[in-house]
Chains A and B, each alone.
Chain A
Amino acid sequence: MSKEMTLAVDRIKCDGRGLCAELLPELIRLDDWGYPILAAGPIPAHLLPLAARAVEDCPVLALALRRTERKK
């Protein structure tokens, strides 16, 4: 078992401000209406600090980091 981090959006809180996609374009892009589409799978280790920053800076606190366990 290893611990991995993934991104999760609270879809009801999310207002489509789009800050997350600016801060973390590697994993987040916006749809035609400005709402985030997250890349599937765990966050690569080198992007973790940027992901944490995106989570902190979300103006409506809709973005979160989730710890997921994966069987190896």
Chain B
Amino acid sequence: MTRLLGTPDVLTALPNASKGLIEAIDRSGLVGRGGAGFPVATKWRAVAQRSRGQAVIVVNGAEGEPQSKKDRLLMTARPHLILDGAFLAARVLRAGRIVLYIGERHDDARNAMLRAVVQRTEPERRMVTVSAAPSRYVAGAETAAIHLINEGVATPTTAPPYPFERGVGGAPTLVQNVETLAHVALIARTGDAPNTVLVTLAGGVKTPGVLEVEKGTTVAEAVRRSGGFTEAPRAVLVGGYFGTWVETQTALDLELDHGSMRRHGLGLGCGVIGVLPASRSPVRETAGIMRYLAQESSAQCGPCFFGLRALADTCTRIAEGTSKPEDLKRLQRWASEVSGRGACRHPDGAVMFLSSALDLFGSEFANDSAYALRRTA
């Protein structure tokens, strides 16, 4: 089986690449591994159509999701594979420039990528520049990456224009996650994508960390390979902070695969599977994550900046037993109002996460609010 990890990262000649690579990517069904899960072939065609030899490839290794570790691990372990994917993209999309966009705190990853760049041919080296992605949640968003490279500010911008229309330096731009580019490199070499996905197990498992699992592996199996639960679990957060709380039994049977998750109305996102131990309060946990997401708003759009803050404050009040009578209803209303009203998807992701908490932990939220009311009565 072809795998990303556990194989030595050797520099070999770049396989031949033509427009046929886009067809091969299409056949493989590859979707972006950064979180949005967008079909890769569609994105490449959009850039190819507009490129006049001046397109730009942004290699996205920002990995702003706090619990995800898979991108930095892959950059550290397989930098040449990622670079192969980037240079193949540059050939097929007729790009003259490649920007490595790597999280500012991912030192090992950046060093490994730079060491690998030095080993490439001179024409290849000349194409590459490096930009540090600030360690903020939204810095990994496509338009934020472009904004940073163009103007030094890693905040999202209004789309349209989309990156494939006007990106880095105004040129058609492909922003692609590092794991996705590694898959592209293997498709070009072997004609087929590795049948695997990188996931990060976090929270209540004995050995949290990154796993490369075959697509279709169940969450139960991934938990087993992570040493099992530390204690009885209360729920599982599938897909990271923009993900969904799922009841444990349902979660254990889920298959780690973007398509399969979508059929269940879920998203694998950036591949984070977070286990919430039964001894932790789900309301507190939700409030903590909402606080983080509110702080990570780039404060450009009112509904996101004010809305997420209000949602986080309200969740915190409920968790601390100081809520007001109308707080629970407000949460529901604000969650539905805030969605879709930002320049980027930050508010949408945050309220999707919150809505899943209100669905799954409805009784806990109700109990904690009722406790506050009894106390103040």
A residues with a Cβ closer than 8 A to B are 9-16, 31-35, 37
- What residues of chain A lie closer than 8 Å to B337, measured between beta carbons? 31, 37
20 new A-B contacts, CB < 8 A, other than A33-B310, A34-B302, A35-B303, are: A9-B341, A10-B343, A11-B300, A11-B301, A11-B302, A11-B303, A11-B304, A11-B341, A12-B157, A12-B300, A12-B301, A12-B343, A13-B158, A15-B302, A16-B302, A31-B337, A33-B302, A33-B303, A35-B306, A35-B341
Contact A14:B334 (CB < 8 A) given known A31-B307, A32-B310, A37-B341:
no
Give bound CA distance, A15 to B306, whole Å. Answer: 12
Give bound CA distance, A37 to B304, whole Å. Answer: 13
Tell me the interface secondary structure of chain B in the complex.
Answer: helix
- What residues of chain B lie closer than 8 Å to A33, measured between beta carbons? 302-303, 306-307, 310
Tell me the interface secondary structure of chain A in the complex.
Answer: loop
Smallest distance from the beta carbon of B200 to chain A beta carbons, Å? 31
CB-based contact A32/B158 at 8 Å: no
Smallest distance from the beta carbon of B108 to chain A beta carbons, Å? 35
Give bound CA distance, A33 to B310, whole Å. Answer: 10
* A-B residue pairs, 10 tightest by C-beta: A11-B301, A33-B306, A35-B302, A12-B300, A11-B343, A12-B343, A16-B302, A35-B303, A10-B158, A12-B158
CB-based contact B158/A11 at 8 Å: yes
Give bound CA distance, A15 to B7, whole Å. Answer: 52
**Closest partner residue, chain A, to B341 (CB atom):** A11
- What residues of chain A lie closer than 8 Å to B158, measured between beta carbons? 10-13
Q: Is B342 an interface residue (CB 8 A)?
A: yes
Smallest distance from the beta carbon of A10 to chain B beta carbons, Å? 5
What are 9 A-to-B residue pairs whose CB atoms are below 8 Å?
Answer: A11-B303, A12-B158, A12-B300, A13-B158, A33-B303, A33-B306, A33-B310, A35-B302, A35-B303
